[in-house]
Amino acid sequence: MCQRMSEKVKQEWSELRDLIDQVSELKVSHMVEMEVENVKVQVGFKHYYDRPESPAGTRCFLFIGQDPVVIGDAFLSPADQFDRNKGRKVALTKALKASQLGKLARAQIWDVYFLAHNKIN
Please indicate, yes or no, if residue 100 is contained in any of the structural domains. Answer: yes
d(CA 69, CA 28): 13
Q: Is residue 71 part of a domain?
A: yes
Cβ atoms of 87 and 73 within 8 Å: the answer is no
- The set of residues, in sequence order, having a beta carbon less than 8 Å from that of 84 and lying 6+ positions away, is 47, 58
Q: Is residue 64 situated within a structural domain?
A: yes
Q: Flag whether 77 is in a domain.
A: yes
Q: Does 56 fall in a domain?
A: yes
Q: What is the pLDDT along the chain (121 residues), one digit of tens a residue?
A: 334 446 766 666 666 666 655 555 555 666 778 888 888 888 888 888 776 666 788 888 888 887 767 888 888 887 888 888 899 999 999 999 998 888 999 999 999 888 887 755 4
CB contact at 8 A, 32 and 49: no
Give domain status of residue 6, yes or no: no
Provide the domain count of the chain: 1
2 lies in a domain?
no
Give the domain extent around 52.
27-120
Sign, CA torsion 32/83/121/118: negative
**Position 34 in a domain:** yes
pTM of the complete model: 0.71
